[in-house]
Structure 1
Amino acid sequence: TNPATGEILASVPKLGATETRRAIDGAAEAFPEWSRRLAHDRANILRKWFDLLMENQADLAAIMTAEQGKFFTEAKGEIAYAASFIEWFSEEARRTYGEIIPSHKEDARILVTHEPVGVTAAITPWNFPAAMIARKAGAALSVGCTMVVKPASATPLTALAMAALAERAGVPAGVLSVVTGSAGEIGGELTSNPKVGKVSFTGSTETGKKLMEQSASTLKRLSLELGGNAPFLVFEDADLDAAVEGAVASKFRNSGQTCVCTNRFLVQDQIYDAFAEKLTKAVKKLKVGNGMEDGVDQGPLINQDAVETVKAHIEDAVEKGARIVHGGKPHALGGTFFEPTVLVDVPATARIAREETFGPVAALFRFTGEAEAIAMANDTEFGLAAYAYTQDLARAFRVSAALDYGIVGMNVGLISTAIAPFGGRKESGFGREGSRHGVSDYLDIKYTLMGGLG
C-alpha cells in the first residue's frame, strides 16, 4: 500500500513456516558449492549486482517511494547507499585473512582460518527496505554464506526487486531467497531451524529480545540492531548554523523514521533560545507531500499507528510543560502526513525523553554544563547513536569518549557509510554492519594444530 495515497500497489505471497523451511533447505543445498567458490568469483558476482542496482537506481527508488513514502531523491540516495555495501563487501570477499601463530611445539604449526557459518537469515525493517538487506546480504554472500531474507510486510517490493537483480547478476539459486508473509511464522522458523547458523535483525528492541529467546534453543549467532534514543548535544561554543543543518539532516530524514534519528536535542542554556529560533526557521522551510512530487522534503509516515504515536508524544510533552513553536499536528494533506514539529522547554519527565518517537518531532531540552549534558545523554537504556556540536577540540574528544553509544557524530548529522562499523550497545543490540568488521559475524574461526612437522 502506498502510504501517501492509500493505493494498493501489488499483492505478494503470504508464505509461512513450510515455505520458509523450503527456502532454508535450498540455502543449505546451495551452501557447499557457493562457499567453495573462489573469493574472486564471488566478488565479481557481487560487483555485477552493484552495477545492476546503480543502473536501475531510478526504478528501484520509484518502487521504494511508492511503498515506503520517502521522497524520490531520498529514495535514490538509499539505493546508492545500499549499493555501496554490495560494492564494499565485493572487495572484502578477498580479505578474510587467516593467521599463523608461533607454535608452542618445535614440530608443529598453529593455523587460524575463517570459514563461513553456513545458512544465515535476515529480518529487515520497512524504513530502509534496500539498505538493511544490502548490509546483511552483502556481508554474508561475500564470505560464502547463503541467506534467507524476510522483508517487512509493508515494503516487500524493494526486496523482491533487489533479489531479481541479484539473480540477474549471477547469484545462484538458493544462495539468496526472499520470503514474504507472516512475520511470526517465518521468524519462528528462521530462529528455530537448526540449519540456520546465524540471524541478523534490524527492528525494535522488543522484537529483538523475542528473537533472541527463540534462537536460544539452537544457540544461533545473532546480530541485533535495535531501538535508539539518540541525543544531539549543542554546546555554547558550537557553530549554530552548522548545528542546525546537522539537526535537520539527523531529525527529519525519512520523516524522522530512522533508528539513528535524533530523539532528544540537548542544548546548553546560553545558546538555547538562539538555536531554537534558527532550527524553527529551518524546519518551517520543509515541504511535506507525496514523495514523487518535485521539491518535497518530507513524505508521509508509514501508517496510522505511527501518526498516533507521534501525536501521543506531543500531547504528553505539552501536558507536562513543553511548548509547540511549530507544527504539532497531522498535516492538512490528511492521511498519514504530519507537520514537521519543534517543541521547546521539554521536561525530562516527558515520554519523548524516554521513548523513541520515530516521527518528525524535534524536542529541545536544556542543560547548563558538560557533565550534566553527558549524564542526560546517557540516561537511557539505549546506546545506538549520539551527536554533538562543539568547536573545542579537547571537549570533542572528552564528549565522544564519555557518550555510551556505539556511534558518535561529532559536528556532523549524517553518520552512515559502508566503510564504517554500524551498531550499538546496551539495549540497542550488538554486532556491527559495514566496514571490515561487518563480515566477522558471518565467519567462524578454526584453529588447526599441524603436527608431525619435525
Structure 2
Amino acid sequence: MSSQNTDWTFPQDVGSAPTPNLIDGDWTQSTSGDTFSAFDPGTGRVIAEVTKADAHDTDTAVAAARRAFDEGRWTRLPAAERGAILWRAADIMDSKADELGVWESRNMGIPVPQARTMVHEAANQFRYYAGWADKVHGHTIDLGPAERRVQGYTLREPVGVVAMIVPWNAPLISASKKLAPALAAGCACVLKPADETPLTALWLGEILLEAGVPAGVVNVITGPGDTVGAALAEHPDVDQVAFTGSTEVGRSIIHAATGNLKKLQLELGGKSPVIVLPDADLERTIPAVAGAVFWNSGQVCAAGTRLFVHEAVHDQVVEGVAAEGRRLRLGYGADSDVDLGPLISQKQLDRVTSYVDGGRASGADVVTGGHRVGTDGYFFEPTVLTGVDQSMNVMREEIFGPVLGVMPFSDIDQAVALANDSSYGLASSVWTENGATAHGIARRLRAGRVGLNVHRAGGAYMPAGGYRQSGWGRENGEEGLSAYLEVKSVVSTLD
C-alpha cells in the first residue's frame, strides 16, 4: 500500500484530503494514488476526494477478508458476543445519526430529516440481525430402521467471503441490509459503495471497527464499478456477490460469477404497479400513492411508478396525485421545510428528462411537472403522465425519477393483467376497503412484495426481493440471513 493510517476517523468536514479505504483494519490510499470526486447533487459541486481503488487494491481487500474468514477472527467468537457487537454498532449509528444524516444528505441529496430516519432504519438492520447471531441452528433427523438407526443432522455455516456492491439511492440502508445479516451468519465482507455515494459507507466501516468487529472482517473499497465491481464479481476468492442495482448490471455480474460459480443475491430493477379500486378511501390513498412514487425524488427501486385506477375514480385520483406533486417543496437537503431533494447527478437528470420527453413524443399528456427546476443541482419536478399505454418506454422501463404513468381500468381482471404485464416483479400495492378483494388480488400479483393500503412497510422484518428480472433471492427477515448460509448434511451410524 502507498500509505496506511490506522488512526484515521471520519471528519466532520472531509475537505481536500483523500478519503481512504478500509482494508484489514487499516485506512489506506490506493497503490496508484489516484482519487475521484464525490459531488453534492444539490449544488453540483465537489465535496470530497475519495481513494480510487483498482484491481490490485481489490485483490488486497479480498485477500484480507479471506484471511479473516479462514483464521476464524469473527466465527471463533461466541455467537452471543457477535450479536452484542452488532447491537453495539446499531447504538453507535443511532448516536451519530445527526452527523451521518448530514453526510447522507450532502452526498445523495435527500432532505436531512429523511436522511436521519434512514440512518435509524439502517441501524435497525444491525439490531435485528444481532438477535439472529446465536440462533443459526441446524436440525437432527433419525434415519433407517430401529435395528440399524442412522443419525443425521444439518449444519448451517457461513458461505465465506462476500462481496457487496450497493447503489447510490439509499447508501447506508443498502449497505446495512447486506452487512448485518452476513455478519450475523459469520461471513467476511468486502463492501463497494456506489461511485456517487462513497462517504457514509466508509463511516460505517469505522463504526463497525469501533463496535468490535475484528480487522479484515469488513473491508470497504471505493472505485469504479467497471474495475472494482467487475474484479469482485469475477474474483476466485469471493464466494458470493450480493448486489443491489440495475438489471443490466445484474446480468453482467451473473456472467462474471460463472468462473467459480459463486452464489449470487441480486436485488434488481422494478416498475412497480399500484392498483386503486373504486371503493378505496381516496383521502388516504391519494397522498400515499403520491408518496410511493415521489419520495426520494422517485429514486427507489420499489417506487410505485405505474398507477392503474378504476375508471370511476380515475380523474379524481389523477388530479389528487398531481396536486400532491405540485405541493411538494423541492430544495437543498439542509434547508428547512423541504420535501424533495435533487436527482443524484447530471446523468440521472438527463435520463429522467429523456423519458418524459419520449413519453410526450409518443402521445402522453403531462398533467403536472415534466421539467428541470433551476440551474444549480439536479432538481426535477414531480411528474404525472396520462394518455400512456403499455407499449411506451415510460411504462415499461425503470426511470428512477419522480415520474408516474397513469392508466384507467374497468374491472379487476384487467387491472391484474396490466399490473403483471412487465418484465419486473419487485413490489406492488392495492388500495381498496374490501379486505377479501385485496387479499385475492395479492395472490394474483407477480411481485415479491404486495402492500394492501400501504406501499412500503416491513423494514428489516419482512423479506424483500423480486420475481422475474427484479432479481434473485431475498433480503430482510430470516430469508435475508439464510442468503449468507450454506447447509451441510452429516450422517453417522449409531453403533
Normalising by structure 1, report the TM-score: 0.98
Superposition pairs of residues 229-378 of structure 1, within 5 angstroms: 229-332=271-374, 334-378=376-420
**Which position in structure 1 is the counterpart of 2:73?**
33
> Is residue 40–residue 107 contact of structure 2 (8 Å, CA) maintained in 1?
yes
> Is residue 44–residue 378 contact of structure 2 (8 Å, CA) maintained in 1?
no
**Which position in structure 2 is the counterpart of 1:433?**
475
- Distance, in Å, in 2 between the alignment partners of 1:192 and 1:344 is 44
> Is residue 147–residue 176 contact of structure 1 (8 Å, CA) maintained in 2?
yes
**Which position in structure 2 is the counterpart of 1:78?**
118
Match of 1:417 among 459, 463, 472: 459
Pairwise CA distance, 1:80: 0.9
Pairwise CA distance, 1:334: 4.1
Decide whether aligned partners of structure 1 residues 37 and 198 sit closer, same or farther in structure 2, where only a CA change above 3 A counts.
same
- Distance, in Å, in 2 between the alignment partners of 1:166 and 1:93 is 16
- Distance, in Å, in 2 between the alignment partners of 1:415 and 1:144 is 28
**Bigger shift: residues 414-423 or 317-326:** 317-326
Flag structure 2 segments of 5+ consecutive residues without an equivalent.
1-38
Match of 1:8 among 28, 43, 46: 46
- Distance, in Å, in 1 between the alignment partners of 2:295 and 2:464 is 18
- Distance, in Å, in 1 between the alignment partners of 2:351 and 2:221 is 29
- Distance, in Å, in 2 between the alignment partners of 1:416 and 1:331 is 33
**Which position in structure 1 is the counterpart of 2:5?**
none
Pairwise CA distance, 1:151: 0.4
Identity of aligned residues (%): 36
- AA aligned opposite 2:488: K
- AA aligned opposite 2:370: G
Match of 2:442 among 395, 400, 403: 400
- AA aligned opposite 2:40: N
> Is residue 39–residue 93 contact of structure 1 (8 Å, CA) maintained in 2?
yes
> Is residue 246–residue 414 contact of structure 1 (8 Å, CA) maintained in 2?
no
> Over aligned residue pairs, what C-alpha RMSD do you find?
1.2
Pairwise CA distance, 1:284: 1.6
3-state SS of paired residue (1:102): strand
Is structure 2 residue 97 aligned with structure 1 residue 57? yes
3-state SS of paired residue (1:9): strand
> Is residue 44–residue 376 contact of structure 2 (8 Å, CA) maintained in 1?
no
Pairwise CA distance, 1:282: 1.6
- Distance, in Å, in 2 between the alignment partners of 1:268 and 1:309 is 30
**Which position in structure 2 is the counterpart of 1:178?**
220
3-state SS of paired residue (2:50): coil
- Distance, in Å, in 2 between the alignment partners of 1:277 and 1:180 is 44
- AA aligned opposite 1:442: Y
Match of 1:225 among 238, 260, 267: 267
Which structure is higher in RCO with an 8 Å CA cutoff and minimum separation 6?
A: 1
- Distance, in Å, in 1 between the alignment partners of 2:230 and 2:374 is 41
**Bigger shift: residues 131-140 or 340-349:** 340-349
Is structure 2 residue 122 aligned with structure 1 residue 98? no
**Which position in structure 2 is the counterpart of 1:89?**
129
**Which position in structure 2 is the counterpart of 1:19?**
57
- AA aligned opposite 2:367: V
Is structure 2 residue 210 aligned with structure 1 residue 168? yes
Q: Deviations over 1:204-226 (max 9, x none)?
A: 00100100100011010000000
Decide whether aligned partners of structure 1 residues 334 and 346 sit closer, same or farther in structure 2, where only a CA change above 3 A counts.
farther
- AA aligned opposite 2:378: T
**Which position in structure 2 is the counterpart of 1:66?**
106
**Which position in structure 2 is the counterpart of 1:204?**
246
3-state SS of paired residue (2:347): helix
Match of 1:43 among 83, 95, 113: 83
**Bigger shift: residues 107-116 or 41-50:** 107-116
- Distance, in Å, in 1 between the alignment partners of 2:461 and 2:84 is 19
> Is residue 280–residue 342 contact of structure 1 (8 Å, CA) maintained in 2?
yes
Flag structure 1 segments of 5+ consecutive residues without an equivalent.
none
3-state SS of paired residue (1:438): helix
**Which position in structure 2 is the counterpart of 1:444?**
486
- AA aligned opposite 1:202: T
> Is residue 317–residue 347 contact of structure 1 (8 Å, CA) maintained in 2?
no
Pairwise CA distance, 1:418: 0.3
Q: Deviations over 1:357-378 (max 9, x none)?
A: 1111122111111111111101
> Is residue 73–residue 214 contact of structure 2 (8 Å, CA) maintained in 1?
no
Q: Deviations over 1:158-191 (max 9, x none)?
A: 1001111111111111000101112122123212
Pairwise CA distance, 1:416: 4.4
3-state SS of paired residue (1:125): coil
